[in-house]
Structure 1
Amino acid sequence: MVLGMIMMMSFGLVDTFFVSLLGTDPLAAISFTFPVTFTVISLNIGLGIGTSAIIGKLQGAGEKSESQHHATGAMILSVILVGVLAVAGYLAMDPIFRLLNATENLMPYIREYMSVWYVSSVFLSLPMVGNSVLRACGDTSMPSIIMATVGAINAALDPLFIFGFGPFPAMGIQGAAVATLIAWMVGASWIIYLLAVKRQLMLPRLLTIKEMKTSSMHILRIGLPAAGANMLTPIAGGVMTAVVASYGAEAVAAWGVGNRMESIASIVILSLSMSLPPLISQNVGANNYQRVEEAYKISVKFVLFWQLCVFILLWLLSDWIASAFANESEVETLIALFLVIVPLGYGMQGVVILTNSALNAMHRPMSALVLSVVRLFVFLVPCAYVGSLLFGLRGLFWGTVVANLMMAAISFICFKRALLAYRETQEGS
């Protein structure tokens, strides 16, 4: 899972690195795209959660035919929903990014990048949901291999299309999106062949309307709340980007690099959040509530310790990382400032992420959704905004740490209450 996450996160980080070589404006432009691109990715994550839950249950019950139908439905559903979201995003591109406070000089870069990225997002949906099918069927290695290969293709093509080489034209920031499009097209073709032909985990045909309706209802019942919870993050990220934008393009560029580093620094948390739910679900089904609580607490302790080590490492390497991603001294200074403050809250943020995963595993997706709303819009955005008013950009960074600390405590309490309520409900029935 860690390897798969590294490959997934590498797309944005590699794109950010090569685009940073073009200058501050292109780097600021691609930083503005993060909330929008992550919104689409969040939809795929939610659909993957719903798909995994349904396919895993059917596989465990030995209902192979139903599993094939639902896997096929999940793949078709992902293309339809992501396609609709991509078209809407393309048509509303200018108002969306102006709402994020993108300046006119950055809009040409944003249009170049996003016009291609929206097309690639449809192909992105297939490997993401398809990998969920594989994991639900017990295979965690092949998804990582697919992501590693696709990530390597993206990394290899980035400099060719961005800067040009031989027959490849120099396309600037748009070249990064073209490289991503080609990489995801390879991934989409691979996963369809693997699922439909080689392993026969999905049907090699389209579903009927009736079949599609049945599979979609099952997947969306779990997937929509999960997708909603994930999509709140980029919405809050958009608000945060708008606040940061008031400090100039240099601040936005630094914020974008910092967010990419956060993705890499949180890989272990995210991997654990995907491996913890099956353990919790199985033990809840076996009425082994003591083991559920034990697994959750062990995971929380590990994440707090691990992320403290990550914070120390980022703090020590902050100047080196900043110089690697910045061409201007002001951007370099702001990146370093981000890395010595914000990562301090990653461990507490990990507690929130693990709690949400545990609640989804206990079939309480709405509880997880409420926690996400509270974390982002009751704590994170207000604390960061107030901090920025009082102490500028440094105060905004410290505001995120304070918000994660308070939310971690609330999440821990919510899990214990949810587990107790679940036990009482099951014992009462």
Structure 2
Amino acid sequence: MSIRINLLEDDIQKTLVKMTTPMMLGIVSLMLFNLADLYFVSRLGTDALAALGFTFPVCFMVISLAIGLGIGTSAILARLLGRGESDEAQSLATDNLLAIAVMVVVISGLLQLLIDPVFYAMGARDALMPFIQAYMRVWLIGSVFLVINMVCNACMRATGDTKTPALMMAGSSLLNFILDPLFIFGVGPIEGMGIQGAAIASVIAWSLTTCVALYLLFVHKRLLVLQPFVFSRWKRHAYAVMKIALPASLSNMMTPVAQAVLTYIVAHHGPEAVAAFGVGNRIESLALLVCLALSMTLPPFISQNIGAGHVERVRSAYRMVIGFSLFWQFLVFILLIFVAEDVATLFSGNNTVQSLIVLWIFIVPFGFAFQAITFLTASSFNALHKPFMAMKISLARLFLFTVPFAWLGSQLFGLQGMFIALVVSNLCVAVLAWLSMSAHLRAS
């Protein structure tokens, strides 16, 4: 099993750049995956676009579970690889993927039963429910492929290989882009299925790329092995991963819970506001893509170096990425202001929705630099095997600051007040996160 980049000895800045660049391109592809769904569904009308906006928190909850499971898997594998324990890493990765597949099938089945009560509780109108049901029933069936795919990619990143996961993301996005118009609008013998077609296209793309990922892990990476099921070994591996993955998953899953509450708050301002807010959520992911890539490449670097006892390299890497994220995200904010009207026109033909998208762009992205500091710090704590510190930061951000501030801003100053409150809450949490990590690294 070869590690393409030496995380323990190579220059820190060059190593992070080499790892982050392909991941950045991969995440661009992943975000374009979501934007393609958004663009094609927007052609179906405001109701379909608003329905997709309602589905975002629930879909992101499943994605957050996958992210947390990937964090736990990557942290343990990278530390084992840093110690030179490749046989144990192979056995753990195999047991872990099997356990995760079973877990996601059970969770998906439960969510199928809760579609109506969940979305009614979020404030969805009766007119939107047929769109939501058509999309979610298919999306949940295919979610097992999405989660397994993301965990497979995390396994690859733990070895220092970020190029292969990036190519997997790009392939999935390309497939989705090709299949979306075919299944949404129909062509030839394929009948258009509207918003449900978007979900079908996603599931096909995930299933095909998941098969490729499993093949690569087994044949090329040799991180999957044929081994008998031994309960004591499976239990030991599950405990090692889940003690990091469960807190990480919980903190990540709280994000869509808070997002659902924010959507509920926005829903009081009308379906146009929900549609604009849904567009904003997708723009946010794309605007944060560089720092999101860093949050995926920094943890393997930290875990391997901690496993090898190179603490000073960890301190230097953390300081470096925080400084870069501040500079980069403010640059992105300026760029978004210049293209705000073009972006609004691209995603909606409704004048009210367009004006609300522009309002969102002029306010919310100012806080992205602070948001980046928060999730980079949380991912660093997970890599240091301090998942409860990461969870505390995430829960404080969502439920001590973001939700209360957003509700208060909405009540006092309307939608604009809510958007400003999101920026203020991100600033407050970023300061707390930075102080917490700085204190921990000084004590290490």
When normalised by structure 1's length, the TM-score is 0.95
1:145 corresponds in structure 2 to 167
Q: How does 1:61-140 map to 2 (within 5 A)?
A: 61-140=83-162
In the alignment, which of 217, 223, 231 is matched to residue 245 of structure 2? 223
In the alignment, which of 21, 24, 27 is matched to residue 2 of structure 1? 24
- Whether the 8 Å CA contact 2:340–2:361 is kept in 1: the answer is yes
- Report the Cα distance in structure 1 between the residues aligned to 2:393 and 2:353, rounded to whole angstroms: 34
Q: How does 1:250-261 map to 2 (within 5 A)?
A: 250-261=272-283
- Report the Cα distance in structure 2 between the residues aligned to 1:342 and 1:178, rounded to whole angstroms: 32
Is 1:294 the counterpart of 2:316? The answer is yes
Q: How does 1:189-268 map to 2 (within 5 A)?
A: 189-204=211-226, 207-268=229-290
- Report the Cα distance in structure 1 between the residues aligned to 2:332 and 2:229, rounded to whole angstroms: 46
In the alignment, which of 380, 392, 395 is matched to residue 402 of structure 2? 380
1:352 corresponds in structure 2 to 374
Cα displacement (A) at 1:282: 4.5
Give the secondary structure class of the aligned counterpart of 2:190. coil
Amino acid at match of 1:299: V
- The change in CA–CA distance for 1:33 and 1:69 in structure 2 (over 3 A counts) is same
Q: Over residues 340-365 of structure 1, what are the superposed CA-to-partner deviations in whole Å (9 max), with x where a residue is unaligned? A: 11000000111111111221222211
- Whether the 8 Å CA contact 1:344–1:401 is kept in 2: the answer is yes
1:169 corresponds in structure 2 to 191
- The change in CA–CA distance for 1:123 and 1:269 in structure 2 (over 3 A counts) is same
When normalised by structure 2's length, the TM-score is 0.92
- Report the Cα distance in structure 2 between the residues aligned to 1:40 and 1:385, rounded to whole angstroms: 25
Structure 1: which 5+ residue stretches go unaligned?
A: 424-429
- Report the Cα distance in structure 1 between the residues aligned to 2:66 and 2:307, rounded to whole angstroms: 27
- Whether the 8 Å CA contact 2:302–2:384 is kept in 1: the answer is yes
Identity, % of aligned pairs?
Answer: 47
Cα displacement (A) at 1:233: 0.7
Amino acid at match of 1:154: N
Cα displacement (A) at 1:281: 3.5
- The change in CA–CA distance for 1:26 and 1:246 in structure 2 (over 3 A counts) is same
- Report the Cα distance in structure 2 between the residues aligned to 1:293 and 1:386, rounded to whole angstroms: 38
Is 1:322 the counterpart of 2:344? The answer is yes
In the alignment, which of 60, 63, 68 is matched to residue 41 of structure 1? 63
Cα displacement (A) at 1:199: 3.7
Q: How does 1:338-417 map to 2 (within 5 A)?
A: 338-417=360-439
Q: Over residues 21-63 of structure 1, what are the superposed CA-to-partner deviations in whole Å (9 max), with x where a residue is unaligned? A: 1000000001101110111011111111111122222333333
- The change in CA–CA distance for 1:285 and 1:414 in structure 2 (over 3 A counts) is same
- Report the Cα distance in structure 2 between the residues aligned to 1:284 and 1:266, rounded to whole angstroms: 27
Give the secondary structure class of the aligned counterpart of 2:339. helix
Give the secondary structure class of the aligned counterpart of 2:37. helix
- Report the Cα distance in structure 1 between the residues aligned to 2:228 and 2:199, rounded to whole angstroms: 29
Amino acid at match of 2:102: I
Cα displacement (A) at 1:283: 4.6
Q: Answer 1 or 2: higher relative contact order, Cα 8 Å, separation at least 6.
A: 2
2:325 corresponds in structure 1 to 303
Q: Over residues 165-191 of structure 1, what are the superposed CA-to-partner deviations in whole Å (9 max), with x where a residue is unaligned? A: 012110000000000010011011111
Question: 352-361 or 259-268, which moves further after superposition?
Answer: 352-361
- Report the Cα distance in structure 1 between the residues aligned to 2:303 and 2:83, rounded to whole angstroms: 15
- Report the Cα distance in structure 2 between the residues aligned to 1:206 and 1:396, rounded to whole angstroms: 54
Q: Over residues 189-213 of structure 1, what are the superposed CA-to-partner deviations in whole Å (9 max), with x where a residue is unaligned? A: 1112222234432024673434332
- The change in CA–CA distance for 1:206 and 1:226 in structure 2 (over 3 A counts) is farther
Question: 299-308 or 193-202, which moves further after superposition?
Answer: 193-202
Question: 269-278 or 120-129, which moves further after superposition?
Answer: 269-278
- Report the Cα distance in structure 1 between the residues aligned to 2:300 and 2:220, rounded to whole angstroms: 26
